[in-house]
Amino acid sequence: MRVFGIDPGSERTGYGCVETDGSRHQLIVSGAICAMASDSFPDRLARIHAELTRLLAECRPESVAIENLFHASNARSALKLGHARGVAMLAAVQAGCEVAEYTPTEVKRAVVGYGRAEKTQVQQMVKLLLGLDHLPTPHDAADALAVAICHIHARPMTTARSPLAAARTADRPVARSWRQYRPAR
Looking from the CA of 63 toward its CB, the CA atoms found within 13 Å total 18
Q: Is 21 a catalytic residue?
A: no
Q: Say how many C-beta atoms besides its own lie within 10 A of residue 103's C-beta.
A: 15
Residue 98 CA: distances (Å) to CA of 29, 49, 69: 19, 17, 18
Q: Is 133 a catalytic residue?
A: no
Q: Is 67 a catalytic residue?
A: yes
Given the residues 58, 140, 143, 171, the one annotated as active site: 140
161/183 Cα distance (integer angstroms) = 19
Given the residues 51, 67, 118, 143, the one annotated as active site: 67
Calculate helix-pair angle for 139-154, 104-111, nearest 10 degrees. Answer: 80
- Positions marked catalytic: 7, 67, 140
